[in-house]
């Protein structure tokens, strides 16, 4: 996939997940800037995106699925950096309580 195709896929997922989770363009814009709000709707929006990309299995992020999706969806020049980030974050779910 090219960067433009990746961007277009992101727009489709965003268009589908935003109304389902009552998030604003500002909320999503902050996510796109790397600022993740501790807000249930925002977290559910992110979960929606993960579900659409099939990287969530049984309500748990699947590291193996993330790596497969990176190989399929990301341009070659981005893959290594994204895999490093995924590896760094893969166990974060073990340290986070479920959102109430």
Phi-psi region of 83 (alpha: psi -120 to 50; beta: other; left: phi over 0): alpha
* pTM exceeds 0.75, yes or no: no
Given this model, what pLDDT does residue 100 score?
42
pLDDT tops 90 at residue 74: no
Given this model, what pLDDT does residue 94 score?
67
How far apart, in Å, are the Cα atoms of 41 and each of 14, 47, 60, 74?
13, 10, 18, 27
Work out the average pLDDT over 57-67: 83
Spell out the domains of the chain, with CATH numbers in brackets.
3-91 (1.10.238.20)
Work out the average pLDDT over 64-81: 90
pLDDT band at 60 (very low <50, low <70, confident <90, very high): confident
């Amino acid at each position: 996939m090219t960067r433009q195709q990746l961007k277009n896929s992101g727009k489709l997922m965003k268009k589908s997940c935003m109304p389902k989770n009552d998030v604003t363009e500002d909320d999503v814009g902050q996510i796109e800037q790397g600022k993740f709000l501790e807000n249930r709707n925002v977290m559910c929006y992110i979960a929606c995106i993960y579900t659409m990309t099939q990287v969530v299995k049984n309500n748990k992020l699947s590291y193996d699925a993330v790596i497969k999706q990176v190989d399929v969806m990301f341009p070659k020049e981005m893959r290594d950096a994204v895999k490093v980030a995924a590896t760094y974050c893969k166990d974060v779910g073990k340290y986070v309580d479920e959102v109430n």
